[in-house]
Structure 1
Protein backbone atom coordinates (compact mmCIF):
# COMPACT_ATOMS: atom_id res chain seq x y z
CA UNK A 1 0.00 0.00 0.00
CA UNK A 2 1.27 3.48 -0.84
CA UNK A 3 1.27 6.14 1.84
CA UNK A 4 -2.20 7.47 2.52
CA UNK A 5 -2.30 11.26 2.58
CA UNK A 6 -4.17 12.73 5.55
CA UNK A 7 -5.10 16.39 5.24
CA UNK A 8 -7.34 18.52 7.41
CA UNK A 9 -8.60 22.01 8.02
CA UNK A 10 -8.83 23.23 11.59
CA UNK A 11 -9.16 26.27 13.80
CA UNK A 12 -9.27 24.97 17.37
CA UNK A 13 -7.12 21.89 16.69
CA UNK A 14 -9.73 19.18 17.16
CA UNK A 15 -9.74 18.12 13.49
CA UNK A 16 -5.93 17.97 13.66
CA UNK A 17 -6.12 15.76 16.76
CA UNK A 18 -8.42 13.34 14.93
CA UNK A 19 -6.07 13.32 11.90
CA UNK A 20 -3.18 12.37 14.18
CA UNK A 21 -5.25 9.61 15.83
CA UNK A 22 -6.23 8.22 12.42
CA UNK A 23 -2.60 8.25 11.28
CA UNK A 24 -1.52 6.43 14.42
CA UNK A 25 -4.23 3.80 13.94
CA UNK A 26 -3.22 3.31 10.29
CA UNK A 27 0.47 3.07 11.13
CA UNK A 28 3.24 3.07 8.52
CA UNK A 29 0.81 3.24 5.61
CA UNK A 30 -0.15 6.80 6.59
CA UNK A 31 1.82 9.90 5.76
CA UNK A 32 2.19 12.58 8.41
CA UNK A 33 -1.11 14.52 8.65
CA UNK A 34 -0.94 18.07 7.29
CA UNK A 35 -3.11 21.15 7.64
CA UNK A 36 -4.30 22.33 4.22
CA UNK A 37 -3.25 25.87 5.07
CA UNK A 38 0.36 24.59 5.13
CA UNK A 39 0.11 22.27 2.14
CA UNK A 40 1.37 22.66 -1.39
CA UNK A 41 -0.60 21.17 -4.26
CA UNK A 42 2.27 18.92 -5.41
CA UNK A 43 2.44 17.18 -2.01
CA UNK A 44 -1.33 16.76 -1.92
CA UNK A 45 -1.33 15.20 -5.39
CA UNK A 46 1.48 12.77 -4.56
CA UNK A 47 -1.04 10.46 -2.84
CA UNK A 48 -3.44 8.16 -4.67
CA UNK A 49 -5.47 7.65 -1.49
CA UNK A 50 -6.56 10.56 0.69
CA UNK A 51 -8.32 10.99 4.01
CA UNK A 52 -9.62 14.54 4.33
CA UNK A 53 -11.01 16.10 7.49
CA UNK A 54 -13.05 19.20 8.10
CA UNK A 55 -14.74 20.91 11.01
CA UNK A 56 -18.06 22.63 10.41
CA UNK A 57 -18.10 26.40 10.78
CA UNK A 58 -20.61 28.89 9.42
CA UNK A 59 -23.83 28.13 7.63
CA UNK A 60 -23.48 26.08 4.44
CA UNK A 61 -19.83 27.09 4.10
CA UNK A 62 -16.43 25.54 3.88
CA UNK A 63 -14.18 26.50 6.75
CA UNK A 64 -11.85 29.35 5.85
CA UNK A 65 -11.27 33.04 6.19
CA UNK A 66 -14.98 33.81 5.65
CA UNK A 67 -15.71 31.72 8.78
CA UNK A 68 -13.05 33.58 10.77
CA UNK A 69 -10.23 31.05 10.44
CA UNK A 70 -7.43 33.61 10.14
CA UNK A 71 -4.85 31.23 8.64
CA UNK A 72 -7.30 29.93 6.03
CA UNK A 73 -8.53 26.41 5.40
CA UNK A 74 -10.41 24.42 2.76
CA UNK A 75 -12.09 27.53 1.36
CA UNK A 76 -8.71 28.84 0.24
CA UNK A 77 -7.10 25.50 -0.71
CA UNK A 78 -9.77 23.94 -2.96
CA UNK A 79 -9.52 26.64 -5.67
CA UNK A 80 -5.87 25.61 -6.12
CA UNK A 81 -7.14 22.14 -7.13
CA UNK A 82 -9.93 23.35 -9.39
CA UNK A 83 -8.44 22.22 -12.72
CA UNK A 84 -7.00 18.91 -11.50
CA UNK A 85 -8.44 15.55 -12.53
CA UNK A 86 -8.69 13.22 -9.52
CA UNK A 87 -9.71 10.17 -11.56
CA UNK A 88 -8.05 7.12 -10.05
CA UNK A 89 -7.71 8.67 -6.59
CA UNK A 90 -9.69 7.35 -3.64
CA UNK A 91 -10.94 9.93 -1.17
CA UNK A 92 -12.48 9.30 2.25
CA UNK A 93 -13.85 12.14 4.38
CA UNK A 94 -14.30 12.72 8.07
CA UNK A 95 -16.12 15.63 9.60
CA UNK A 96 -16.61 17.11 13.03
CA UNK A 97 -19.75 18.77 14.28
CA UNK A 98 -21.97 19.40 17.28
CA UNK A 99 -25.28 17.58 16.80
CA UNK A 100 -26.99 19.27 19.73
CA UNK A 101 -25.99 22.90 19.27
CA UNK A 102 -26.07 22.79 15.45
CA UNK A 103 -28.68 20.09 14.86
CA UNK A 104 -30.05 21.96 11.84
CA UNK A 105 -26.71 21.96 9.96
CA UNK A 106 -24.82 19.05 11.47
CA UNK A 107 -21.49 18.43 9.66
CA UNK A 108 -22.68 20.35 6.58
CA UNK A 109 -19.12 21.27 5.56
CA UNK A 110 -18.41 17.69 4.50
CA UNK A 111 -20.79 17.94 1.55
CA UNK A 112 -18.66 20.68 0.00
CA UNK A 113 -15.57 18.45 0.02
CA UNK A 114 -17.63 15.52 -1.21
CA UNK A 115 -19.10 17.47 -4.11
CA UNK A 116 -15.78 19.05 -5.09
CA UNK A 117 -13.83 15.78 -5.25
CA UNK A 118 -16.71 13.91 -6.90
CA UNK A 119 -16.87 16.58 -9.62
CA UNK A 120 -13.09 16.30 -10.07
CA UNK A 121 -13.41 12.54 -10.74
CA UNK A 122 -12.30 11.03 -7.40
CA UNK A 123 -13.77 7.77 -6.17
CA UNK A 124 -15.44 8.61 -2.87
CA UNK A 125 -15.34 5.91 -0.21
CA UNK A 126 -16.16 5.67 3.49
CA UNK A 127 -19.83 6.57 3.69
CA UNK A 128 -21.13 6.27 7.24
CA UNK A 129 -24.45 5.31 8.84
CA UNK A 130 -26.53 8.03 10.49
CA UNK A 131 -27.59 5.63 13.27
CA UNK A 132 -26.54 6.78 16.73
CA UNK A 133 -26.68 10.51 16.00
CA UNK A 134 -29.40 12.98 17.03
CA UNK A 135 -29.73 15.81 14.53
CA UNK A 136 -32.45 17.51 12.54
CA UNK A 137 -30.80 18.13 9.17
CA UNK A 138 -27.46 17.56 7.48
CA UNK A 139 -26.47 18.36 3.92
CA UNK A 140 -23.78 15.68 4.39
CA UNK A 141 -26.41 12.92 4.20
CA UNK A 142 -26.69 11.46 0.70
CA UNK A 143 -28.83 8.40 -0.01
CA UNK A 144 -29.47 7.94 3.71
CA UNK A 145 -25.80 7.94 4.78
CA UNK A 146 -23.24 10.52 5.76
CA UNK A 147 -20.68 11.10 2.99
CA UNK A 148 -17.93 10.21 5.48
CA UNK A 149 -17.14 9.44 9.09
CA UNK A 150 -18.86 11.82 11.50
CA UNK A 151 -17.49 12.60 14.95
CA UNK A 152 -19.10 14.76 17.61
CA UNK A 153 -16.34 15.54 20.10
CA UNK A 154 -18.68 17.77 22.12
CA UNK A 155 -21.43 15.25 22.86
CA UNK A 156 -20.17 11.79 21.92
CA UNK A 157 -16.37 11.90 22.36
CA UNK A 158 -16.38 8.51 24.07
CA UNK A 159 -17.68 6.91 20.85
CA UNK A 160 -15.01 8.41 18.57
CA UNK A 161 -12.26 5.79 18.90
CA UNK A 162 -14.62 2.91 18.21
CA UNK A 163 -16.17 4.78 15.27
CA UNK A 164 -12.72 5.51 13.82
CA UNK A 165 -11.73 1.85 14.16
CA UNK A 166 -14.89 0.62 12.40
CA UNK A 167 -14.53 3.21 9.64
CA UNK A 168 -10.88 2.37 9.01
CA UNK A 169 -11.81 -1.32 8.76
CA UNK A 170 -14.03 -0.42 5.80
CA UNK A 171 -11.86 2.10 3.97
CA UNK A 172 -8.34 0.67 4.31
CA UNK A 173 -9.01 -2.44 2.20
CA UNK A 174 -10.39 -0.14 -0.52
CA UNK A 175 -7.20 1.96 -0.41
CA UNK A 176 -4.81 -1.00 -0.71
CA UNK A 177 -2.88 -1.13 -3.93
CA UNK A 178 -3.89 2.38 -4.92
Structure 2
Protein backbone atom coordinates (compact mmCIF):
# COMPACT_ATOMS: atom_id res chain seq x y z
CA UNK A 1 0.00 0.00 0.00
CA UNK A 2 1.24 3.46 -0.88
CA UNK A 3 2.35 5.49 2.13
CA UNK A 4 1.18 9.11 1.97
CA UNK A 5 1.85 12.24 4.02
CA UNK A 6 0.22 15.64 3.91
CA UNK A 7 2.66 18.33 5.06
CA UNK A 8 1.72 21.95 5.78
CA UNK A 9 1.88 24.52 8.56
CA UNK A 10 -0.71 23.73 11.19
CA UNK A 11 -0.76 27.43 12.09
CA UNK A 12 -1.69 28.71 8.59
CA UNK A 13 -5.48 28.98 8.90
CA UNK A 14 -6.49 28.76 5.24
CA UNK A 15 -3.95 26.05 4.47
CA UNK A 16 -5.32 24.08 7.44
CA UNK A 17 -8.85 24.43 6.00
CA UNK A 18 -7.68 23.20 2.59
CA UNK A 19 -5.76 20.31 4.17
CA UNK A 20 -8.86 19.26 6.11
CA UNK A 21 -10.88 19.05 2.87
CA UNK A 22 -8.03 17.20 1.14
CA UNK A 23 -7.81 14.61 3.93
CA UNK A 24 -11.60 14.12 3.82
CA UNK A 25 -11.56 13.68 0.04
CA UNK A 26 -8.45 11.49 -0.10
CA UNK A 27 -10.22 8.53 1.49
CA UNK A 28 -7.03 6.61 2.35
CA UNK A 29 -4.71 6.61 5.33
CA UNK A 30 -2.59 9.76 5.35
CA UNK A 31 -0.03 10.96 7.87
CA UNK A 32 -0.61 14.59 8.87
CA UNK A 33 2.70 16.40 9.48
CA UNK A 34 3.28 19.97 10.62
CA UNK A 35 6.02 21.43 8.42
CA UNK A 36 7.33 23.30 11.48
CA UNK A 37 8.44 19.97 12.97
CA UNK A 38 9.46 18.27 9.70
CA UNK A 39 12.74 16.40 9.49
CA UNK A 40 13.47 16.55 5.74
CA UNK A 41 14.98 13.05 5.80
CA UNK A 42 11.54 11.73 6.77
CA UNK A 43 10.28 12.66 3.29
CA UNK A 44 11.98 9.51 1.97
CA UNK A 45 9.62 7.34 4.07
CA UNK A 46 6.66 8.20 1.84
CA UNK A 47 5.59 7.27 -1.68
CA UNK A 48 3.31 10.31 -2.02
CA UNK A 49 3.85 13.74 -0.50
CA UNK A 50 0.99 16.24 -0.51
CA UNK A 51 2.43 19.63 0.33
CA UNK A 52 0.58 22.78 1.35
CA UNK A 53 2.04 26.24 0.82
CA UNK A 54 0.47 29.70 0.85
CA UNK A 55 2.08 32.42 -1.23
CA UNK A 56 3.45 35.16 1.01
CA UNK A 57 3.89 38.82 0.22
CA UNK A 58 4.98 39.38 -3.38
CA UNK A 59 5.26 35.73 -4.39
CA UNK A 60 7.47 34.24 -1.69
CA UNK A 61 7.67 30.92 0.12
CA UNK A 62 6.71 31.12 3.79
CA UNK A 63 9.73 31.06 6.11
CA UNK A 64 8.93 27.56 7.37
CA UNK A 65 9.34 26.11 3.85
CA UNK A 66 12.13 28.48 2.81
CA UNK A 67 14.30 27.41 5.76
CA UNK A 68 13.98 23.73 4.71
CA UNK A 69 14.93 24.27 1.05
CA UNK A 70 18.70 23.61 1.41
CA UNK A 71 18.13 20.33 3.27
CA UNK A 72 15.42 19.21 0.84
CA UNK A 73 17.58 19.99 -2.19
CA UNK A 74 20.23 17.59 -0.83
CA UNK A 75 17.78 14.67 -0.85
CA UNK A 76 17.25 12.03 -3.53
CA UNK A 77 13.48 11.80 -3.93
CA UNK A 78 13.34 10.04 -7.31
CA UNK A 79 10.91 7.47 -5.90
CA UNK A 80 8.46 10.04 -4.51
CA UNK A 81 5.40 11.58 -6.10
CA UNK A 82 4.69 15.12 -4.96
CA UNK A 83 1.38 16.98 -5.19
CA UNK A 84 1.33 20.64 -4.15
CA UNK A 85 -1.60 22.77 -3.12
CA UNK A 86 -1.45 26.40 -2.17
CA UNK A 87 -3.30 29.60 -1.56
CA UNK A 88 -3.15 32.85 -3.44
CA UNK A 89 -5.14 36.02 -4.06
CA UNK A 90 -5.72 36.60 -7.77
CA UNK A 91 -7.25 40.04 -7.20
CA UNK A 92 -4.86 41.43 -4.59
CA UNK A 93 -1.72 39.85 -6.07
CA UNK A 94 -2.47 39.13 -9.74
CA UNK A 95 1.17 39.48 -10.78
CA UNK A 96 2.38 36.59 -8.58
CA UNK A 97 -0.73 34.50 -8.02
CA UNK A 98 0.14 31.21 -6.35
CA UNK A 99 3.88 31.67 -6.94
CA UNK A 100 4.79 29.58 -3.89
CA UNK A 101 3.29 26.47 -5.53
CA UNK A 102 5.69 26.92 -8.44
CA UNK A 103 8.65 27.69 -6.19
CA UNK A 104 8.06 24.57 -4.10
CA UNK A 105 7.64 22.48 -7.26
CA UNK A 106 11.06 23.67 -8.46
CA UNK A 107 12.65 22.60 -5.17
CA UNK A 108 11.16 19.12 -5.33
CA UNK A 109 11.86 18.73 -9.06
CA UNK A 110 15.54 19.36 -8.25
CA UNK A 111 15.46 16.25 -6.01
CA UNK A 112 14.14 14.05 -8.82
CA UNK A 113 10.61 13.82 -7.40
CA UNK A 114 7.71 13.47 -9.84
CA UNK A 115 5.27 16.37 -9.59
CA UNK A 116 1.64 15.28 -10.05
CA UNK A 117 -1.68 17.10 -9.90
CA UNK A 118 -1.38 19.78 -12.57
CA UNK A 119 -4.61 21.78 -12.81
CA UNK A 120 -6.35 24.02 -15.30
CA UNK A 121 -6.19 27.79 -15.08
CA UNK A 122 -9.76 28.01 -16.36
CA UNK A 123 -11.91 30.16 -14.08
CA UNK A 124 -9.00 32.20 -12.72
CA UNK A 125 -8.05 35.77 -13.64
CA UNK A 126 -4.46 36.83 -12.93
CA UNK A 127 -1.49 38.40 -14.69
CA UNK A 128 1.30 35.92 -14.01
CA UNK A 129 2.29 33.00 -11.81
CA UNK A 130 5.44 30.97 -11.19
CA UNK A 131 3.06 28.02 -10.76
CA UNK A 132 2.36 27.96 -14.52
CA UNK A 133 3.78 25.21 -16.72
CA UNK A 134 2.45 24.67 -20.24
CA UNK A 135 -0.68 26.73 -19.52
CA UNK A 136 -1.52 24.73 -16.38
CA UNK A 137 -0.77 25.16 -12.71
CA UNK A 138 1.87 22.73 -11.48
CA UNK A 139 -0.43 22.01 -8.53
CA UNK A 140 -3.72 23.18 -7.06
CA UNK A 141 -4.04 26.91 -6.43
CA UNK A 142 -6.93 27.99 -4.22
CA UNK A 143 -8.21 31.54 -3.73
CA UNK A 144 -9.99 31.83 -0.38
CA UNK A 145 -10.44 35.59 -0.75
CA UNK A 146 -12.20 35.62 -4.11
CA UNK A 147 -13.38 32.10 -4.97
CA UNK A 148 -13.90 30.35 -1.66
CA UNK A 149 -16.96 28.47 -2.96
CA UNK A 150 -14.80 26.88 -5.67
CA UNK A 151 -12.34 25.33 -3.20
CA UNK A 152 -14.19 22.11 -2.36
CA UNK A 153 -15.00 21.19 -5.98
CA UNK A 154 -11.45 22.03 -7.06
CA UNK A 155 -10.00 19.92 -4.25
CA UNK A 156 -12.24 16.97 -5.14
CA UNK A 157 -11.24 17.09 -8.79
CA UNK A 158 -7.56 17.51 -7.88
CA UNK A 159 -7.59 14.52 -5.51
CA UNK A 160 -8.95 12.35 -8.32
CA UNK A 161 -6.07 13.49 -10.56
CA UNK A 162 -3.32 12.63 -8.06
CA UNK A 163 -4.73 9.30 -6.99
Q: Same fold (TM over 0.5)?
A: yes
State how many pairs are aligned.
Answer: 163
Match of 2:85 in 1: 94
**Residue 40 in structure 1 maps to residue 29 in structure 2:** no
Question: 1:23-63 deviations in whole A, cap 9, x for unaligned?
Answer: 122133322x2221122234332111111110000224211
* 8 A Cα contact 2:59 2:97, kept in partner: no
Deviation for aligned residue 1:10: 6.3
4+ residue runs of structure 1 moved beyond 6 angstroms?
A: none
Do residues 6 (structure 1) and 6 (structure 2) align? yes
Q: Secondary structure at the match of 1:91?
A: strand
Q: Secondary structure at the match of 2:68?
A: helix
Q: Secondary structure at the match of 1:99?
A: coil
Q: Residue 28 of structure 1 aligns to a residue in which SS?
A: coil
| 1:61-113 alpha-carbon deviations (Å, 9 max, x no partner) | 2111xxxxxxxx10112222221111011001111001111111100111111
1:112 aligns to 2:111 (yes or no): no
Matches of 1:104 and 1:135, distance apart in 2: 7
Deviates further, 53-62 or 4-13: 4-13
Contact 2:73 2:108 (8 Å CA) reproduced: no
Structure 2 residue aligned with 1:150: 141
Q: What TM-score results when the alignment is normalised by the length of structure 1? A: 0.85
Question: Any gaps of 5 or more consecutive residues in structure 1?
Answer: 65-72, 173-178
- The unaligned stretches of length 5 or more in structure 2 are none
- Indicate if the aligned counterparts of 1:3 and 1:28 stay in contact, CA closer than 8 A: no
Shift of 1:12: 3.7
What is the distance in 2 between the residues matched to 1:128 and 1:157?
17
CA drift of 1:11 comes to 5.2
Per-residue CA distance 1:106-126 (angstroms, 9 max, x = gap): 001111111111111001110
**1:82 matched residue in structure 2:** 73
